Every structure is written in structure tokens, then in C-alpha cells.
Structure 1
Amino acid sequence: MLRYLYTLLYILAAPLLCVRWVYKSFKPPQYREPLRERFGIVSKESSESIWFHAVSMGESNAAIAIIKSLLDKFPDLNIIVTTTTPTGARQIHNGLGDKVKHHYSPCDLPGTIKRFIRRARPKLLVIMETELWPNWLHHLKSSQIPVILANGRLSERSAQKYEKICSLSKEMMDAFVKVLAVNNQDAERFQRIGLTSDKAIVTGNIKFDINIPQFSDHEYYPVWKGRTVWIAASTHKGEDELVLKAHQLICEQVPEACLILVPRHPERFESVARLISDSGLSMARRSQPDSWDEGAQVLLGDTMGEMMKAFNISDITWVGGSFAEIGGHNPIEPAVLAKPVLTGPYIFNFNEIFGELIAAGGAQMVQNESELADKIVELMKTPELAHGMGQKALQVIERNRGALDKTVSVIEQYL
């Protein structure tokens, strides 16, 4: 019953969704071309496919790791990947090239998903993390197509919301053949909203299995060689002002300090550039080499897919989405590079990872821009302390590796 009500509401909202997609086509323009794909109009497959779905960048990276491992063993697999955002699409294209076919994800209407199934011919769907679409799951189950949730995460806040619609949640959970949870807490939450215990497997977090890329020294911004650099990564609206205030406080005590500021979403690059200019801090832009200056106090990271390069030249990292009530972002990338990790108080999307990093001494929480500035100054003035934090963060990563092999092993059973 709830699914029918949900579908009715979705149909009523569909015109607004179309307006939204058209509006977003102007920034960034990658949204314009796939409108037909949002309604399941994709190229017809001549053979059965394995369908992976990832929302954006983080989920796409995890999907890429799984797909590469599968293709190493089964090079003839026909793999389709859908993403919700252009950021995720870009990650798939950069990471896999023409080894897979990419489409934008179909919206959750019965006719749309049935059309997509007919054209894409999936024999298995692997959903990354926590994408629960009622009509997708209902019609895949009706078509006897197994669905696996990989790297499954469910925060306590989300679990409580799903418990309020328990009948619909249970119907969605019944569609999965396996849920591969990142830890015991997530597995328990999935069972609370209707998953049967025999379908829950704790495999760990694939993101811990990230390969450490090789970079040349200061490849991201070579003119800062020898400078002390901190990074504010994946910032959201309202956080950039706080970060810039923190940097001004830092520069009062460490005048040579440098900041890399990387907004989470590319459509905010220009507005953040204006904020930096208005702050009085001198700025360079990663996308504009003619602006590069050794004396720049702030480097705006206005390119995509280069976060690891930015982390690589940073001495200290602060992970965004944690001063705003976003819930934080994944701290594994800086930790795998042995960087000390700082975060704001809102980390409910990554409680377990941050909890382990903080307990091990590889990360620390700060409550506001003043505390952020004080901690960064402390780490800049005592590099041995920063180095020790980074090593402890890396040790947490090493202890948690192995999820990728476990995940691939389960998926192989359904190929």
C-alpha cells in the first residue's frame, strides 16, 4: 500500500523533477544530455548485463574497485554502470573508460524501471551503499533478478526514518538476496528495518582497500614546495566562510601557512572563489596555471577527480560536511596517505570510521573554526605530532583491509 502511495506522489512530482533536471543542465551542462536515460530510454543490449548502481563519487570509486576485480577474472562480462550525478559519471569514465557502459540512473517510476530492465537486460544488480528505491526493487524482484547491496551502510538516523515506514522497508529488504554490510552495527540496522538475518553478511568497508596512488612531488601545485599546507576537503555551503576565518587565524601565528580549499560540488567553484577574494586572502586556482603564485595563501581546488593529489601535498587535512549538518565525508583517502585527519562535530554518516580513527589517535574532532585553527597551528609547529597522527591513521586503514575480496567472492556466486 505504501509503495502505491509513494508511486502516486512520485508521479505528481515528476514534472518538477524534469524542471529541476533542465535547470541543472545549465550548471553543470552534463545533466542536459541524459534526460531520456532518466526515463529508462537506453541503448538495447544484445546480451545479458551485470548492472552496478552508484550515486556519486564515493560510491563510484567503490564500484570501480569491484568491477576491476571482476573483469580481471571475467574479462568478457557485459557491465552497465548507472550513476545519479555527473560527478559519479566522470569517476566511472576516468576509472573504467570503455570497459563498461555508463547511463544515468532511471527515475523510480514503474514504467521507467520496466523499460530499463527490458533494454539493459540485467541478470544481477549491485547497488552501492544505501540506494533504496521501492519500484526498482519491486520490479527487479518480480523479474527474478537478484539484487545485492554492496558496501552497505545505514546510519542510525536513517534506520529510525525507515522504521517509521516499516511495511515499505520490509518489502524493499525482501528484494535483496544479500546485503554486504560494512560492520556489525550496519548489519543490525538493516535487520531492524526488515532484512532477514540469513541475507546479512559483514564484509567490511571496500574503501579501506583503496590503492595508494603514486604521485610526483607536489604534482598538484608545484610552486608550494617547502611550504606548510593544510586542506579543507569537500566543503559545503556555509563551511567555506568558517574555513577562511580559521585560515586567517592560522596565518597570524604561522604566516607562511597555505590552504587548499576544495568545494564538494563544482557548481560552487565560482561562489567560493568570490568568498576567497572577499576575505582579503590571496588566491590561486588549480584550473588556471597562469594564476599560480608561490605567495598565494589559498589554492582553490576547482577541478574534479584530483582530491588524492591535493591530499598528497597537504600536511594536515580537515574533512568537510562536518561543520554543516551534512554528516561528514569519508576520511579514508587522507588516512591512507598517512595524513592527520581533523573533523567537525557532524559525522553521523561515518561514525564508525571516525570513531576508530579518533580512538587510535589518527583523527581529532574540533567544534568550530577557532578550535580548528588552534589544532592546525599546533600540528604545524610540532610536525612530529602531525607525523604520529598520520601514522596512526594509516594503521587503522591497514587493520581494516580485505573487504574487496569478500565482496567479490559473494558477487561471483550470482554471475
Structure 2
Amino acid sequence: MYFLYAILTNLAVIISPLIFIYRILKGKEDPQRFKEKICIYSRKRTKNKVWIHAASIGELMSVVPIIKKLEKNKKIKSIIVTTTTTSSAKIFKKLRFKKTFHVYFPLDNNFLTKRFINYWQPETAIFVDSEIWPNMYKNLKIKKIPIIILNARIVKKTLDRWQIFPGFAKEVFDKITLALPSNLETLKYLKQLQVKNIRVAGNLKYYGEKNVEGINDKHLKNKFNNSKIWCAASTHKNEEIFLGKLHKNLKKNYKQLITIIIPRHINRVSQIIDDMNKLGLKTITNSSNLKIKDDTDIFLVDSYGVSSKFYNLTNITFVGGSLIAHGGQNPLEPARFGNFIINGPNVNNFKEIYSFLMKRKMSLTTSSSLKMEKIILKKLNHKKNNQNIKKIIKIGQQILDKNLLYINKYII
């Protein structure tokens, strides 16, 4: 099966120039840096103690606390972080690490993965979430470089795909040195995939830094000073229309109501504005810096990496990807900021987290606009629940410490 996979990845490299051109035109590739994906680098070669791969923004942000802790280790001179998306590269730049630098993850081709490893010479490879790359794993194993899956997440759909090719799956997963599952479902599936060394440390996304630079944005707070606000985050196509209609009903009770919408993908901003216009709703974007007027309905966040500033201002957040057949999005960031969570029923990707919140009466699951309206009207005048914030912070700190304990065994 590795042979067939090698043929397919060789074909991917052959047609990659056409794919890159298309993605550059669509704004999905950096025209200055896309060559990094075929291991052509402008950055000087360095030997790196630790390499961390996080696919995109969510995975990257979940390991920021790990990176900050590792940077304090005097034995670690350099850390390389790879991601696959331009949005995550932009967020990385804002984080301003001291020892850590970013390059794009290469195509999972046998030749390119060998070149990547030989060029950057990592001593430990950490893959975040569900990043399973057969050729990269094979060549790391050949070089005897430990492979750690951090905050591992495997859903039933992924397991089913791997089980179509059980021999290939065994070859790939057998190369993992240490797996740290983020939930019990993943623990179960990793065992079925015959991963040998599994340790339970918990989901890193519970962790949130107590003091985050720029969270307390006084200018932003003043912008909403005369308004009642609530948030809808990580929204997907069609969910905004539902939320726009909900906003219209809520506004019958609060004339100064503003619904803050933070879409999962900001390239959909134009479509969302158009959808809101069709509902007769006035929208302004975060990047426009326009003042909120009496007739403003929707405040649309059209930039990445600023969600926490809005969670800090609100106490209710609807988390998207849950009214459609997507499987939900992670609600922990708004929950850490003391927001009551509202979500639709489709949350299969984060079942344990939503169960945790529901048991502690920190969330509501419903697809009913009427039920959402009632809970939002009830919670709008409430203060943040500081006890809930403390609970999540305490759990998060314990999880961070435990993950670091396991990781450090392969670094120090």
C-alpha cells in the first residue's frame, strides 16, 4: 500500500505547479513562500531540537502554551513550527516567539519529506491533533526521530477510512512513538489502530493563559458601550441566515442589540454581508473601523486571531458548525472567557467537551430559534460566571503540565 501511496504523492508533486497557481489566484497560497511546500527555502539551514506541526489556526493556538514553555528550556536552542495555511502563518507572525520560527509543511512525498528532515534536522517531531502523514512518518522512523501525536483527535469517520486498508494503517500507526489523545473516543480508536504507547493527558484546548496581551481592548469596549451584545462564533454557510433572523426577533426586546458574528472562514465575509442585507440588517465590519450607529445590527469580524477580544466583552456565544452537518467547532475558548455556550445538535467532533459543559450547566444544545431567543434574553443582563472560568483554568493548567511531562521525556 505504501507503494501505491508513493505513486499518488509523486503525481501530486508533478501537478503541484498547477495547483499552486490556482491557489495563489484564489488567495490561498503565499506567492512569496509557496516554494517551501516543495522544500525550497530562503531561510538558512539550522539544526532544531524540536519540530511541531500544526495544520491550521486551531491546532496552532492549542500548542502556543507548549511552545512558550519549551522556549524557556535552556537546552532548546531552536524550535521549528510548520503549518499548511496562510491564515495560520499570519497568526504565527503575530505571536512573536523568541526561539521559534515558521515554515510551511511540505507535500507528503517521499523525496520531499526526506529533504525536509535532512534540511532542518529535527530531534523530536510533534504532530498536533489529527495530522497523520505516511511518508513523513516513514522517513522520521528511518532517522530514529521520535514521533509524538499531541492532543490527538480521531473521529469514527477517520477510523473507518483507515480500516479499509488495515495493513497500511498498521504500518503507519506503528511508527508513532507516543500518542497523547485529547479524548476517550480517540484513546479507543488509537488502541484499535494498534498504537503501542498511549498516555492520557487531556485536551490542551482547556488551557487558556490568564493574561493575554491585547485582550482587554478599551477602544473595542467603548465601541459597544451603549449596546447589548452577544456573539456567534465559528459560523458556517447558512448559519448566519438563521442567526440574522434570530437577531431580528431579539431586537424587538432590545433596540440597541448588536450581534457579533465571527465566521469560521473570513473569505465568506462578502456573502455574509449580502445575506444580512437581504434580511434588511445593517452590517459593519471590524476592519472598517466605522462607528456603531443606532441602526447597526451585525458587527462582522473579518480578521483572524482577535476572537478572544470579543469573548472577553460578551457573556453568551453561539458556536457554529453545529446547525449543519459539520460536527461542530470547539467551544472552549469562549467558555474560558465565561461565556454561556449555545450550540446546535451536530457536535460529534467535540462530544466530550460539550458533555463537560452541559453537565455543569454551562451550555445549551438546541436547534430551536425560540429556545435560543429565550436563553439569550435571560442571559444578556447576567454577569460572567467567574466560578466556571476558574474551573476551566484549573483543569487546563493540570492538562498542560501533564502533556509537558510526557513530551519532555523525549526532549531533555
Higher mean Cα deviation, 259-268 or 398-407? 398-407
1:212 aligns with 2:194: no
Closer/same/farther in 2, CA of residues 29 and 195 from structure 1, 3 Å limit: closer
Please show how residues 271-290 of structure 1 align to structure 2 within 5 Å.
271-290=271-290
Q: Which residue identity is paired with 1:290?
A: L
Higher mean Cα deviation, 147-156 or 107-116? 147-156
Matches of 2:218 and 2:375 in 1, distance apart?
24
1:101-150 CA-to-partner distances (Å, cap 9, x unmatched) read 21111011111101111111111111111100111111111121111011
1:165-184 CA-to-partner distances (Å, cap 9, x unmatched) read 22222212111110011233
Closer/same/farther in 2, CA of residues 354 and 249 from structure 1, 3 Å limit: same
Matches of 1:352 and 1:307 in 2, distance apart?
23
Q: CA deviation at 1:12?
A: 3.1
Instruction: Name 1:202's counterpart in structure 2.
Output: 200
Matches of 1:76 and 1:314 in 2, distance apart?
39
8 A Cα contact 1:51 1:126, kept in partner: yes
Q: Which residue identity is paired with 2:275?
A: L
Instruction: Name 2:9's counterpart in structure 1.
Output: 10
Q: CA deviation at 1:391?
A: 4.5
1:406 aligns with 2:402: yes
Matches of 1:346 and 1:16 in 2, distance apart?
36
Q: Which residue identity is paired with 2:120?
A: A
8 A Cα contact 2:286 2:299, kept in partner: yes
Q: Which residue identity is paired with 2:157?
A: R
Instruction: Name 2:61's counterpart in structure 1.
Output: 61
Please show how residues 218-229 of structure 1 align to structure 2 within 5 Å.
219-220=219-220, 222-229=222-229
Figure out how many residues of one structure are paired with residues of the other and give that number. Answer: 408
Instruction: Name 1:91's counterpart in structure 2.
Output: 91
Q: CA deviation at 1:370?
A: 4.5
Instruction: Name 2:257's counterpart in structure 1.
Output: 257
Instruction: Name 2:172's counterpart in structure 1.
Output: 172
Instruction: Name 1:32's counterpart in structure 2.
Output: 31
Q: CA deviation at 1:395?
A: 2.8
1:338 aligns with 2:334: no
Closer/same/farther in 2, CA of residues 257 and 16 from structure 1, 3 Å limit: farther
Instruction: Name 1:361's counterpart in structure 2.
Output: 361
Instruction: Name 1:160's counterpart in structure 2.
Output: 160
1:371-404 CA-to-partner distances (Å, cap 9, x unmatched) read 4334323433xx34x755x744653453453121
Q: CA deviation at 1:217?
A: 6.0
The TM-score, its normalising length taken from structure 2, stands at 0.91
Higher mean Cα deviation, 318-327 or 21-30? 21-30
Closer/same/farther in 2, CA of residues 248 and 7 from structure 1, 3 Å limit: farther
1:293 aligns with 2:293: yes
Percent pairwise identity: 27
Which structure 1 segments of 5+ residues have no match? none
8 A Cα contact 2:315 2:338, kept in partner: no
Higher mean Cα deviation, 63-72 or 250-259? 250-259
Closer/same/farther in 2, CA of residues 20 and 244 from structure 1, 3 Å limit: farther
8 A Cα contact 2:13 2:109, kept in partner: no
Say which structure is richer in helix: 1
Q: CA deviation at 1:67?
A: 1.1
Q: Which residue identity is paired with 1:3?
A: Y
Matches of 1:181 and 1:111 in 2, distance apart?
30
1:185-206 CA-to-partner distances (Å, cap 9, x unmatched) read 322211111212xx10001111
Q: Which residue identity is paired with 1:11?
A: N
The TM-score, its normalising length taken from structure 1, stands at 0.91
Please show how residues 229-240 of structure 1 align to structure 2 within 5 Å.
229-240=229-240
Closer/same/farther in 2, CA of residues 232 and 243 from structure 1, 3 Å limit: same
Which structure 2 segments of 5+ residues have no match? none
